Amino acid sequence: MNNSPIGIYDSGLGGLTVWREVRRALPGESIVYLGDGKHCPYGSRPREEIARLADRAVAALVDRGCKMIVVACNTATAAAIDLLREKYAPMPIVGMEPAVKPACIATRSGVVGVLATERSLDGALFRRTAARYGEGIEVVAVPGTGFVELVESDRESTPEAEACVRRAVAPMLRAGADQIVLGCTHYPFLLSLIERVVAGHDVSIIDPSPAVARRVVQLLDRFDLRAEPGRRADLSFLTFADESYRLRLEQKAMASLG
C-alpha cells in the first residue's frame, strides 16, 4: 500500500482527458495534475526544448512525492519518455502511445486516420508503431492544426473549431478511413464535433485515454502501490502559468466528470 499521489502531466488542459479516466477508474487515489500552460502548445516546438520542459514538469511532480507519473501528452512522450524513464527509475512512468495498433486491428476498409501534433507525427514512437502494426494498412496522418489552441481557449463548440476539424478529417474520409485515432490528449475535448463531422461515414473514433487508465491500474497492482482502502483522495492542480490558469485546470477537471 502507498498513499502517495499519482502525478499526471500535460502541456496544458488536454491531459485532463486522461485525468478523468484515471479518476473514474481509481476514485480512492490522490492525484496531482500539472498542466504546464505557460509553454503550451508543444506541438511545433523543437524536440530538445520539449524534453527539457517534460523533465522540469516530472521533477516538480517527484518533488510533490508522487509514486507514479503519467505523461498525458503525446508530444512530450514522443520527445522525452526514454529520458524520463532512465532518469527517474525505478518509478513507473506511463506514456501516451499512439493507438495505431487497435485501429489497424479493427479497420475493415484497410485505411486508418491519425490526428496528432506535428511533433508527434514526426516522432520515432509513431513511426515505429505505424510500421509495426500498419503493414498492409494505409495510415493517413494529419496534424490537428489549431486543435490545441481551440481547447486551450475554450472554443471547442465554435464554427471556427468545426472548420478546423473538417479540414483535418477531409483527407481521411476521402481515403476511406473507417478508424480515426486521436493522437493528442487535447483532441477528445473535440470528440462530439469530430463525431458530427464524420456522421454518415461509418467511422470509429479511438480515444486512448481509457487504455492509459487501465495501464495505470495494472502498474499500481504490479508494484503494490495502491492507496489504503477507504482513504480520502486528495486532488490538486499545478501549473507553470498563473493562478487563473490553475483555477481553469481545476474547474475543467471537475466539469469533465459530469
- Residues annotated as catalytic are 73, 184
CB 195 within 8 A of CB 170: no
Contact 91, 62 (CB under 8 A): yes
Q: How far apart are CA 194 and CA 166, in angstroms?
A: 8
Which helix (H) or strand (E) segment holds residue 199: the answer is none
Is-contact 104 81, C-beta < 8 A?
no
Angle at 146 between CA 142 and CA 150, to 5 degrees: 130
Cis bond upstream, residue 102 (ω within 30): no
Packing angle, helices 159-175 and 191-198, rounded to 10: 50
Give exposure, 32-63, as e/b (b: 16+ Cβ within 10 Å). Answer: bbbbbbebbbbbebeeeebbbbbbebbebbee
CB 51 within 8 A of CB 108: no
Which of 121, 92, 50, 47 lies closest to 215, judged by CA?
Answer: 92
